[in-house]
Chains A and B, each alone.
Chain A
Amino acid sequence: MSDICEETLGVGLLCEGQHDPGTPPAGLRRAPSGVDGLTTEHLIINMGPQHPSTHGVLRMIVEVDGEEIVAAEVSVGYLHRGIEKLAEHRRYDAVGTLMDRGDYVSGMMGELAFALAAEQLMDVEVPRKAHWLRSLASELNRLASHLVWYGTFGLDTGAMGQFLYAMREREALLDILEALSGQRMMFNYIRPGGVVADMPTGLAEKIRTFLSTFDMYLDEYDQLLGGNEIFQARVKGIGVIDRQMALAFGLTGANLRAAGVDFDIRKARPYAAYPELDFEVPLGSTGDAWDRYTVRMAEMRQSARMISQLIDGMPEGEHTAKVPRIIRPKAGEVYASVESSRGETGIHLLSDGTEHPYRMHYRGPSLYAAQALEEILPGHLIADVVMIIGSTDIMLGELDR
């Protein structure tokens, strides 16, 4: 037991428990006020939940010395809708609607994670075409989601143009997704057993038209934001999450790969059509905000590459397996995870053999990215805070669930 009880920004004291508490996250340590005998006081500021650039309703309690952060606490829960509880009262084919509302910018991946989990307990063989359509929907959705990230990252730096340019491409993508699934954002397209509908006639052509200009536009956007000296001066070297910290905080996705860890669920635990696709996993080196930016930009290029492969090689056949109207998987416990646009979206599913899940846990990668903020924010300026949040691409919908 440690003798020293350190005061934290929260209500807790660091002296309970059997283990030596060691060092808590930097954000929770309160730095001493006053320098050289001068009586100064730190300012405690509530950043959010109604702040223009906390990407929804994230609230950070930051303690600042001038403009420099000395302590930061991330406070979440302003978007809690009880998705996990609600899922216990939905049938298996309706849980997808909840997953859409979890990570509402990339709903397809959430649906896919749930479908993969449920299928492990169902006696069903998913047809090859369904796998390909699932991958296609995921990659289209990943592009749409990364474009939102690109736009809002630009907005965080104060550049408004980038946001609207990204929205132009995203609009085209949402049109494609609407043609595919019937909805722009709340798809409920991927369900246990397959997907809801086949690709409509002419959609392949539409996607090809979109891809024909996308790479060019993406290079242009990369120049517009990443090629800007001011932007580079602002993101390079801030918010460093190195390999060790990324692993300790359970980061996944682009945030982890920016630290140089080569782990992508699409490669490491292949699902859907990914084993058949040819793509690379872009990696960063230092794990600063600039690395996260470049990794995500490179991911968009890879996604575009995958989409064209998926369109060209789309197999013939059924888009869904024969699934009973009311799905009753056998009792059991499974875990399925997919690489969503923000990281590893995992579904821990318990079935008791009835038509409702017994328990569904939804692992949102944003939750883990958000708690890493507590560790990395101290020492940065207020202006950097929004850049770091922007670079980690957290989504409050899946954070609060």
Chain B
Amino acid sequence: MSTLGISALKVLAALGLMLGNGVVMIYMLRKVLGHLHIRLGPIHVGWKGTLQTVMDVLKLLTKEDVTPRAVDRWLFRLAPAVVFVPSLMAYAALPFSDTWRITNLDSGLLYTFTALSLIPIGILMAGWASANKWSLLGGMRAAAQQIAYEVPLLLSVLPIVMLVGSANLGTIVEAQQGTFLAVLPRWFIVNPLFWPTFLIFVVASLVESNQTPFDMSEAESEIVAGFATEYSAMKFGLLFLSEFSNQFIVSALGVTLFFGGWTLPWLPASVVSALGPVIFLIKTYLGIFVMMWIRGTFPRVRIDQVMQLGWQRLIPISLVWIVFSGIVIKVWS
């Protein structure tokens, strides 16, 4: 098969994963939030309500796609695509196993962050083009907070890059194979040097993926639905699909950077290499579960508090930590 054909298939696979992830996560979100809120979530359509999401997708597809008269038509239509495409691009560098990956990029970590950082442009477009004041506020908030948190997000993971000596996500995973004393996995999360790193990463990635307690840009109790207020039908669906996909990507990044990616130290190498993608997905969805848990429990932070936390706390702390861990790594090795 030609290289072009293979590339096309890979893109289709990523698209399939993204759509499948959306379907799984909507169901998961409803069930997890439901049980956290002492209710059941969907139970009627299909076994334990499993077909509910399918029905919802059908509903979104068949709904009337309303374009309000006052909107900037081109931007309004373009915005969901501008949000969707970077979200799809971000799958490219994720290593699902030692062989399963779309592309093996040496700058994989940087690439993924770059792809994620394109999303606010789309959200800002959506907010601006909607000709709705709530949307505008939502778009502005999204832009402000995502710009503010890209910096600490990237700075926070630099110690790992410094230790491994590569920004290739596959190499980072390989550096975490094996165990200490045959019990503790050699995952970076076990290393005390990376605990502050991990905390900053979690906070910044929650902001990046627009999750409670940092879901400023669509805070429904404050600004109605933020940038998505005027969207309906599948345009709305695309915006939310990419939201779920972002959650998957930051969770997958967290797994790759701190929890050993596709590896599981207690299993023999042959099993691990065969089950790599499964282990990776299980870990990722556990991460997503934790994010939903936070979402079901915490109130929302105020926008000025978020900005303060980002600029005044996280950035200086991560800078200091880079210097400190640089010295430690230098002395240690």
Contact = CB atoms under 8 A, between A and B. Distances in A.
Interface in A213-236: 224-225, 228, 230-231, 233-234
Contacts of B133: 43, 45
B247 to A, nearest CB: 17
A214 B68 CA distance: 49
B191 to A, nearest CB: 28
A230 B221 contact: no
B212 interface: yes
Interface in B208-236: 212-213, 215, 219-224
B212 A51 contact: no
Contacts of B221: 52-53, 155-158, 386
Nearest to B225: A52
B237 to A, nearest CB: 21
Interface string A372-391: 00000000011111100000
A212 to B, nearest CB: 19
A154 interface: yes
A156 B220 CA distance: 9
Nearest to B305: A233
Contacts of B212: 158
B299 A383 contact: no
Most buried by A among B137, B222, B298, B304: B222
B37 A234 contact: no
Contacts of A224: 297
A164 interface: yes
A184 interface: no
Most buried by A among B134, B213, B215, B221: B221
Contacts of B296: 160-161
Given A43-B133, A45-B133, A159 B223 contact: no
Interface in B20-47: 33, 36-39
B302 interface: yes
Report the interface size class on chain B: 20 to 34
A234 B38 contact: no
A168 interface: yes
Contacts of B219: 158, 383
Contacts of A381: 302-304
Contacts of B298: 158-159, 228, 230
B301 interface: yes
A164 B299 contact: no
Most buried by B among A52, A156, A233: A52
B222 A160 contact: no
Interface in A227-249: 228, 230-231, 233-234
B222 A164 contact: no
B218 to A, nearest CB: 10
B302 A158 contact: no
Contact of A52 (B39, B137, B224, B305): B224
B33 A160 contact: yes
B300 interface: yes
A288 to B, nearest CB: 15
Interface in B283-333: 296-305
A159 B300 CA distance: 7
A234 B39 contact: no
Contacts of B220: 52, 158
A161 B222 contact: no
Given A160-B37, A161-B36, A161-B37, A230 B300 contact: yes
A67 interface: yes
A239 to B, nearest CB: 13
A158 B223 contact: no
Contacts of A160: 33, 37, 296
A70 to B, nearest CB: 15
B173 to A, nearest CB: 34
Nearest to A155: B221
Given A43-B133, A383-B219, A230 B299 contact: yes
Contact of A158 (B36, B38, B213, B305): B213
Nearest to B215: A158
Contact of A383 (B37, B39, B303): B303
Given A161-B36, A164-B38, A51 B303 contact: no
Interface in B49-68: none
A382 B141 CA distance: 12
A386 B222 CA distance: 6
Nearest to A233: B305
A53 B299 CA distance: 14
Contacts of A158: 212-213, 215, 219-221, 298-300
A9 B299 CA distance: 33
A246 B219 CA distance: 30
Contacts of A233: 301-302, 305
Contacts of A228: 298-299
Nearest to A231: B299
Given A230-B301, A381-B304, A165 B38 contact: yes
Given A53-B222, A158-B221, 18 more contacts: A43-B133, A52-B221, A52-B224, A67-B137, A67-B304, A155-B221, A156-B221, A157-B299, A158-B212, A158-B215, A158-B298, A159-B299, A159-B300, A230-B300, A233-B302, A234-B302, A383-B222, A383-B302
28 contacts: A45-B133, A51-B224, A52-B220, A155-B221, A156-B221, A157-B221, A158-B215, A158-B220, A159-B297, A159-B298, A160-B37, A161-B36, A161-B37, A164-B38, A164-B39, A224-B297, A228-B298, A230-B299, A230-B300, A230-B301, A233-B305, A234-B299, A234-B305, A381-B303, A382-B137, A382-B222, A382-B223, A384-B302
Interface of B: 33, 36-39, 133-134, 137, 212-213, 215, 219-224, 296-305
List the 8 closest pairs (A to B, CB-CB), nearest first. A158-B300, A157-B299, A159-B299, A53-B221, A164-B37, A383-B302, A231-B299, A383-B222
